[in-house]
Amino acid sequence: QKEVEQDPGPLSVPEGAIVSLNCTYSNSAFQYFMWYRQYSRKGPELLMYTYSSGNKEDGRFTAQVDKSSKYISLFIRDSQPSDSATYLCAAYNFNKFYFGSGTKLNVKP
C-alpha cells in the first residue's frame, strides 16, 4: 500500500465550478500535509500546507485535513482555465515527503 493515495483523474469541469481533489494516507504519524500544483513539464509549486487536522483557506483554495479518516482535500472555488494542471498531495514526516500520484484537472472555458 502506498503511503499516499490519490485518484489520477483526469477531472474535467466547466469554468466557475467548485473542484474537490482528494487523497488518503496510511501513516497516522503524518502531521504535515501539502498540496502542490504542477503544470506540464514544470516542477511542482507549493499551493498550501496544513498541520494536523482542520481547514486552511487561501483565496479560492481551501485545504482540509481529517486525521480521523486519514483524508486530505483541496477545494477550488470559481475554478478558472488557468487552474488546469496536475495537483499533487503530499505528507511530510521525518524529513521525507510522500507524494500522491497527482490528479490532472482540466477547467474548460
Partner 1 sequence: GAVVSQHPSWVICKSGTSVKIECRSLDFQATTMFWYRQFPKQSLMLMATSNEGSKATYEQGVEKDKFLINHASLTLSTLTVTSAHPEDSSFYICSANSGSSYNEQFFGPGTRLTVL
Q: Which stretch binds partner 1 (CB under 8 A): 12-20, 44-52, 56-64, 69-77?
A: 44-52
Rounded to whole angstroms, the Cα distance separating 109 from 91 reads 32
Residues 61-90 close enough to bind partner 1 by CB under 8 A = 88
C-alpha neighbours within 13 Å on the C-beta side of residue 87: 28
The reply to whether 58 sits near partner 1 by the rule CB under 8 A is: no
What letter represents residue 33's amino acid?
A: F
Rounded to whole angstroms, the Cα distance separating 19 from 31 reads 24
Q: Which stretch binds partner 1 (CB under 8 A): 14-22, 32-40, 56-64, 74-82?
A: 32-40
Among 45, 57, 66, 78, the residue binding partner 1 under the rule CB under 8 A is 45
